[in-house]
Amino acid sequence: MKIIVAIKQVPVRDSTLRIDSSGKWIDEDDLSYEINEPDAYALEEALQLKEKHDGEVIAVLAGPERGSQTIREALAKGADRAIHIECDDLASLDTLGVASRLAAAIKDEKADLILTGLQSDDLGLGQTGVVLAELLGIPHATIIMQVEAGDGSIKVKRELEDGWFQHVQMPLPALLTIQSGISKLRYATLMGIKKAKTKEVRRIAAGDLPQAATPTVTLARIYLPEKKKETQMIEGSPNEAAAKLVEKLKFEVRVI
Amino acid sequence: MSGVLVILEHKGGSYNRMSWEALAAGQQIAVASGQPLSAAVLVSNEGGSDLESFTGEFANKKLDKGYRVEHALLKDYTADGYISALEQFIKKIDPSFIVFPHTYQVRDFAPRLAARFGQVLLADLVGLRKEGDSFVFVRQLFQGKLNADYRHTGSGPCFVSVQAGAFRAESLEAGSASVEAFAPELDATAIRSKPEAPFREAAQTVDLSSAPIIVSVGRGIKEQDNLPMVEELAAALGGELAASRPICDNGWLPMERQVGSSGQTVSPKLYLAVGISGAIQHLVGMKGSKTVVAINKDENAPIFEVADYGIVGDLFEVVPALTEAVKKAKGA
């Protein structure tokens, strides 16, 4: 089974975000980056499927040079090889632009299965995978909790709202977006880290891929959200704050 | 290309309440742009006469037109079936805006439908407004830490989906609309996925929805071994213990104690969020709480957006202090 996992690099969770001088994106200078969390689960699922059914796992990432760190980590965890679409202009593309690059870079691989996380922690659009499936002309399913691979087809467990689930069967090749937390993430072993250095990373310059279409949606400005609710911030040492809060709970909220 | 089209969602004939919020957003766009408003629902036409009463519910809203997109192959949701049916329907009525509720189902098919028109879905909107000749669409970035204004610059129809709770269904105006049927051509062999009936896992034994006090814990707790500290606070307050998704994913608490879009929706008198940053998936499950208290080390955490009272601090210091203070106040 040949599996491609599309991964994205995003600022580490809990980063302090500052808006840059253009007002259109965050200041990236002092940030550290990591694999987008749902994509880490997509990679894990791919590695587990490979362990069960044999085959190959190929990680694909679009992004600037710093993305090679995230690629190395994926290789160290067990991906067999990787494709790095090198580009500095991701922020100026819309989903169709990003998905077209991914599609162009992987279509000749003729993978059986393409996995990606259900959404990114930065933009949170949750649609790159779905649009990629459209561009490749293959079926897809989203928010997947479980994958059982059969002969030429797969059966997946989709998460619906409010604690409901559904099994869906579809032919391969197919694309799935994976939900976070569906299994335990593995750590890279020392051996894995060593081996990663010898694994193939195919670098593709974005300029060598077909030109992306003009974006149909554009980000005009980013800003801190305005507070809709009046929040009473309670100050003081932990003991003081606790005592003040208890007063509020007693006399204003009336739950004590 | 003219008009605003809202796609309503239902399950087995009962409407998802987010459908009405999407309709409220559609009304707002229609009024601001001076364009007519229509709404459509996808149904199987195997039911016969039931269809009339089913569409009645949206025919009494203020709409210029209602549509029933009907075909036997639309009985169960499939991305291929819905996309093909809506592609044909949208081409026929040629709207400028198509509005969806941002449900899990919409997330599954709407991006692909938009791509078929060479467009990108503006997903999960929290607001919109008209500026000059065009609209500004507001969505959240970085799990709610930042907002972004987007504009639709494509030449095709503009596809948007709206976040749960962002538009008020109560503001919908009543009216009457004629409902017309549209029969798309669908081919069973072109529907590649075979869905089975939805199911729930083990029966839920914890009903958080009726708890008056909930103490909820998130990633900030760091380790499973730290949970008893929060349990003690819940016990002191006489409340139920709940959690955000990562805690349940890790198996630290059972799934049935999860609050959020994939867990339970709660509206207690007091919701005390400990170490929860407040990703939208969590907020939709607890926004209706009467009073929200948040304890978090990050003063910019989105949970403070919905909190009535907030303490910025180290939960490992604040929570034990709070437990003691509650016990003291209760005279225990």
Partners of A229 on chain B (C-beta within 8 Å) are 305-308
Under the phi-then-psi rule, with left for phi > 0, alpha for psi from -120 to 50, and beta for the rest, what region is B228? Answer: alpha
Q: Which residues pair with B122 in a beta bridge?
A: B160
- Whether chain A has a CB inside 8 Å of the CB on B190: the answer is no
B201 to A228: CB separation less than 8 angstroms, yes or no: no
Q: What is the pLDDT of residue B14?
A: 83
| Per-residue pLDDT tens digits for B98-112 | 999 999 999 999 999
Mean pLDDT within B273-300:
93
Partners of B155 on chain A (C-beta within 8 Å) are 216
Block residue for tokens 């976040």: B163
Closest approach of chain A CAs to the CA of B171, in angstroms?
18
Instruction: State yes or no: pLDDT of B204 exceeds 90.
Output: no
Partners of B321 on chain A (C-beta within 8 Å) are 238-239, 241-242
The residue type found at A238 is P
The residue type found at A98 is V
Q: What is the pLDDT of residue A176?
A: 98
Mean pLDDT within A217-221:
93
| Per-residue pLDDT tens digits for A48-93 | 999 999 999 999 999 999 999 999 999 999 999 999 999 998 888 9
The torsion angle over the Cα atoms of residues B51, B56, B57 and B61, rounded to 10 degrees, is 140
Which of A134, A232, A255 faces B269 most closely, judged by CB atoms? A255
Banded pLDDT at A162 (limits 50, 70, 90) = confident
Mean pLDDT within A220-234:
88
Average pLDDT, rounded, for chain B:
92
pTM, rounded to two decimals:
0.90
Banded pLDDT at A213 (limits 50, 70, 90) = confident
Banded pLDDT at B177 (limits 50, 70, 90) = confident
Structure tokens at A253: 């909220």
Q: Are A26 and A18 in contact (CB under 8 A)?
A: yes
Instruction: State yes or no: pLDDT of B122 exceeds 90.
Output: yes
Q: How far apart are CA A108 and CA A110, in angstroms?
A: 5
Q: What is the pLDDT of residue B203?
A: 65
Q: How many CB atoms lie within 10 A of CB A13?
A: 12
Q: Is the peptide bond before B320 cis (omega within 30 degrees of 0)?
A: no
Q: How many CB atoms lie within 10 A of CB A42?
A: 30
Which of A134, A215, A253 faces B116 most closely, judged by CB atoms? A134
Residues of chain B numbered 69-108 and touching chain A (CB < 8 Å): 79-80, 103-105, 107-108
Banded pLDDT at B165 (limits 50, 70, 90) = confident
| Per-residue pLDDT tens digits for B22-75 | 999 999 999 999 999 999 999 988 765 466 666 777 778 889 999 999 999 999
Q: Are B310 and B304 in contact (CB under 8 A)?
A: yes
Q: Which residue has the higher pLDDT, B85 or A206?
A: B85
Spatial CA neighbour of B113 closest among B127, B125, B129, B95: B95
Q: How far apart are CA B327 and CA B332, in angstroms?
A: 5
Q: How far apart are CA B270 and CA B290, in angstroms?
A: 6
Q: What is the pLDDT of residue B53?
A: 65
B154 to A165: CB separation less than 8 angstroms, yes or no: no
Q: Are B289 and B266 in contact (CB under 8 A)?
A: yes
Banded pLDDT at A175 (limits 50, 70, 90) = very high
Partners of A182 on chain B (C-beta within 8 Å) are 249
Q: What is the ipTM of this complex?
A: 0.92
Which of A26, A229, A243 faces B305 most closely, judged by CB atoms? A229
| Per-residue pLDDT tens digits for B243-284 | 999 999 888 999 889 999 888 889 899 999 999 999 888 998
> Which residues have CB under 8 Å from B90's CB, separation 6+?
B5, B98, B113, B117, B157
**How much of chain A exceeds pLDDT 90, in percent?**
85
Please give the residue of chain B at the shortest CA–CA distance from A124: B141
**How much of chain B exceeds pLDDT 70, in percent?**
96
A213 to B308: CB separation less than 8 angstroms, yes or no: no
Instruction: State yes or no: pLDDT of B13 exceeds 80.
Output: no
A127 to B324: CB separation less than 8 angstroms, yes or no: no
- For A40, the 3-state DSSP assignment is helix
Q: How far apart are CA A54 and CA A47, in angstroms?
A: 10
A238 to B149: CB separation less than 8 angstroms, yes or no: no
Instruction: State yes or no: pLDDT of A111 exceeds 90.
Output: yes
Q: What is the pLDDT of residue B48?
A: 56
Structure tokens at B85: 């049916």
B142 to A218: CB separation less than 8 angstroms, yes or no: no
